[in-house]
Amino acid sequence: MPGKQSPQTSASPYPDLLAGLLSFVVPGLGQIWQGWRWRRPGRLLKGVVLLLVLHGMFFYGQALGEWKNVFLPQYQQTLDEKFRIFNFPLPDGLANVWWRPAYAAQFWMGISAWPAVWNYCFPESRVFAHYQRSPGALPGNPTRWERDQDIKQFHKKINDLQLRPDMGKYWDVGLLYTMLAGVLNLLVIYEAYAGPFDSTVRTAPPNTASSADNP
């Protein structure tokens, strides 16, 4: 009965900020780290499974979209004036996420989705060539027209891709996989930080509870 037990005892190893950060960077890594540190093979295996499942979903989704469905565009930089919500001008980064909300979900997939941010910020030194390239982000000081042309060219490519007979709805399915992987990793990050959501299993196992500094 959860109500009759204290959700966290003095032996509880949570919250664990480092594990949360590790799972944020690489999904499942926080659980793997905890499993290894606390000698809990079940937790270590859980981390490995989460790592494989989430990366599998993310990369399979990208493959379905022919590696063109994860990107953060520079749309706002082509506009005459900043996009406004409730008359509040949004900064470039926020406005571009507003225009490409899928990336707000994909971002949480960690380092696998962050080349898009790198390519958005540093177009002169792109990582992995055209992988997650940012449409509109050009090296040097591009004019608004040049950015606009680059975005149009990119969208023509992905429109042609979506209209291809063998693509069909796979574009949408691929996007769904990548977004779901990112959103599910939010649960994984929080689980690494705060422990399993079932409060009765958040305590450390008996073999680690005896040591005050472990974890």
Partner 1 sequence: MPNAQIYWHLPILLLLVSLVYSAVRSDDWRQILTATWRWALYMVLMFLAPVFLILWFFSEIAPRWW
Look at the block and give the residue holding tokens 């149009």. Answer: 152
Nearest approach, Cβ of residue 201 and partner 1 (Å): 5
Nearer to partner 1, 131 or 190 (CB): 190
Work out which of 187, 207, 211, 214 binds partner 1, going by CB under 8 A: 187
Q: Give the distance between the most distant pair of CA atoms in the chain.
A: 66
Q: What is the DSSP string of 6-56?
A: -SS-TT-----HHHHHHHHHSTTHHHHHHHHHTT-HHHHHHHHHHHHHHHH
- Strand locations in the chain (E): 84-85, 88-89
Nearer to partner 1, 91 or 168 (CB): 168
Candidate ranges 66-74, 75-83, 137-145, 181-189; the one touching partner 1 (CB under 8 A): 181-189
Work out which of 2, 87, 124, 201 binds partner 1, going by CB under 8 A: 201
Look at the block and give the residue holding tokens 């959501």. Answer: 197
What string marks each residue from 32 to 71 as x (binds partner 1 by CB under 8 A) or -? Answer: --------x-xx-xx--xx--xx--x--------------
Candidate ranges 76-84, 92-100, 103-111, 191-199; the one touching partner 1 (CB under 8 A): 191-199
Look at the block and give the residue holding tokens 């989430």. Answer: 54
Inter-residue contact 43 to 35 (CB < 8 Å): yes
Inter-residue contact 95 to 118 (CB < 8 Å): no
- Interhelix angle for 170-194 vs 41-64, to 10°? 160
Nearer to partner 1, 22 or 188 (CB): 188
Residue 155 engages partner 1 in binding (rule: CB under 8 A): no
- Residues in contact with partner 1 by CB under 8 A are 40, 42-43, 45-46, 49-50, 53-54, 57, 168-170, 173, 176-177, 180, 184, 187-188, 190-191, 196-198, 201
